[in-house]
């Protein structure tokens, strides 16, 4: 299967480079044939930080015409498999990671709001953004490149390049512009159905196009990376692929939340409960270990409300929020 082979090669190449310190770098002169409308003279980063491992523009194909079924009656997916979910004005939708790990980007509209569903499996970052920027609705694709092992996206409107983790343009006309992250949850199918019985679940446009339900990232989240080849600053007792919960400039170790119970910080409450499979463990996602589900909410005059957060790997928080605070105890 072509899709499975390509994505497996991408994952293997990227992970080998992560553990062995390898880098496949090129630059604007190599990228211009693919991105003739990108203003490469304008950037906020060092181009040496961008790595290419074989994929090119939309080799990892984004979804522009998402198809859904009723989540409560969906078949062929494990109840504890993870989904990135959102609800806007009564419109609840869930995007399974079994699909996102092969496509990484979904352009959709939920409750009348144009959204970008983004997921980078290499750093386990899943964020949903509002695609409306400066009065324009942007449409996104995948450059095929990574920076700090996080997907670099592009918009079709200006061909500016965007960092997925931050939702920020890092190359081109829109450099420095950020999208608004929307409150979303990383939860299981079962948990989504329980809170949104009439919610919709994303399904593949072509079920045979990819190895949906399988992952090439086997045992990635239990691998000990060689620190002498790893450039991100972390406490000695924090593994680079340990999961952390990121809220703005702060992050909490997932193990801390699981073991210590709900974490309260000001009006913020961060809690954990079991019941969600990892996509970085067993080749069959439905058989993977339970990493649980995090809920981040803020107390308001009208009660608790969800806030944007990201359950990602520790190295990504170190890379993109270098001055942030990582809570380990």
Q: What is the pTM of this model?
A: 0.93
Q: Per-residue pLDDT for 114 more than 60?
A: yes
Domain count, the chain: 2
- Domain presence at residue 244: yes
The answer on 289 and 248 residing in a single domain is yes
- State the residue range of the domain holding 63: 2-203
**Residues 6 or more apart from 323 whose CB is under 8 A from it?**
249
Task: Show which of 203, 230, 249 is a domain's final residue.
Answer: 203
Three-state DSSP class for 236? Answer: coil
The answer on 191 and 236 residing in a single domain is no
Across 121-140, average pLDDT: 97
Band of pLDDT at residue 226, cut at 50, 70 and 90? confident
The answer on 194 and 272 residing in a single domain is no
| pLDDT tens, position by position, 10-45 | 454 455 444 444 445 689 999 999 999 999 999 999
Does residue 118 contact residue 128 with C-beta atoms inside 8 Å? yes
The answer on 163 and 121 residing in a single domain is yes
| pLDDT tens, position by position, 168-222 | 999 999 999 999 999 999 999 999 999 999 999 999 999 999 999 999 999 999 9
The answer on 38 and 180 residing in a single domain is yes
- Domain presence at residue 35: yes
The answer on 288 and 147 residing in a single domain is no
- Domain presence at residue 212: no
- The C-alpha atoms of residue 179 and residue 260 are separated, in whole angstroms, by 33
The answer on 231 and 191 residing in a single domain is no
Q: Per-residue pLDDT for 160 more than 80?
A: yes
Q: Per-residue pLDDT for 108 more than 70?
A: yes
Q: What is the mean pLDDT of the chain?
A: 92
- Domain presence at residue 138: yes
**Residues 6 or more apart from 239 whose CB is under 8 A from it?**
224, 225, 314
Band of pLDDT at residue 53, cut at 50, 70 and 90? low
The answer on 25 and 107 residing in a single domain is yes
- Domain presence at residue 93: yes
Task: Show which of 203, 237, 268 is a domain's final residue.
Answer: 203
Band of pLDDT at residue 8, cut at 50, 70 and 90? very low
The answer on 234 and 169 residing in a single domain is no
Across 237-259, average pLDDT: 96
- Closest listed residue to residue 241, CA positions, set 189, 290, 281: 281
- Domain presence at residue 11: yes
The answer on 278 and 180 residing in a single domain is no
- Domain presence at residue 63: yes
- Domain presence at residue 213: no
pLDDT above 70 coverage of the chain, percent = 91
pLDDT attached to residue 42? 98
**Residues 6 or more apart from 52 whose CB is under 8 A from it?**
24, 25, 26, 30, 144, 145
H or E, element range at 9: helix 2-20
């Amino acid at each position: 299967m072509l899709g499975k082979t390509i994505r497996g090669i991408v994952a293997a190449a990227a992970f080998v480079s992560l553990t062995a310190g390898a880098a496949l770098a090129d630059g604007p002169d190599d990228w211009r044939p693919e991105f003739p409308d990108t203003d490469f003279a304008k950037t906020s980063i060092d181009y040496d930080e961008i790595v290419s491992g074989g994929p090119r523009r939309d080799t990892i194909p984004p979804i522009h015409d998402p198809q859904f079924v009723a989540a409560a009656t969906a078949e062929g997916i494990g109840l504890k498999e993870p989904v990135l979910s959102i609800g806007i004005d009564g419109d609840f939708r869930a995007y399974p990671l079994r699909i996102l790990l092969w496509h990484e980007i979904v352009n959709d509209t939920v409750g009348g709001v144009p959204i970008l569903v983004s997921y980078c499996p290499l750093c386990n970052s899943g964020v949903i953004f509002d695609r409306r920027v400066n009065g324009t609705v942007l449409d996104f694709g995948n450059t095929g490149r990574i920076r700090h092992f996080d997907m670099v996206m592009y918009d079709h409107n200006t061909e500016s390049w965007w960092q997925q983790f931050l939702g920020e343009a890092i190359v081109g006309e829109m450099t420095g512009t950020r999208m608004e992250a929307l409150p979303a949850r990383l939860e299981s199918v079962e948990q989504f159905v329980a809170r949104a019985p009439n919610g919709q679940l994303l399904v593949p446009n072509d079920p045979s196009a990819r190895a949906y339900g399988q992952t090439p990232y086997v045992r990635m989240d239990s691998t000990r990376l060689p620190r002498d080849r790893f450039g991100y600053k972390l406490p000695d007792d924090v593994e680079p692929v340990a999961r952390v919960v990121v809220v703005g400039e702060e992050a909490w170790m997932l193990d801390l939340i699981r073991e210590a119970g709900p974490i309260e910080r000001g009006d913020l409450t961060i809690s954990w409960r079991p019941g969600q499979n990892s996509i970085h463990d067993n080749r069959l996602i439905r058989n993977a270990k339970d990493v649980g589900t995090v809920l981040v909410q803020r107390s308001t005059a009208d009660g608790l409300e969800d806030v944007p957060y990201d359950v990602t790997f520790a190295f990504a928080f170190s890379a993109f929020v270098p001055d942030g605070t990582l809570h380990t105890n």
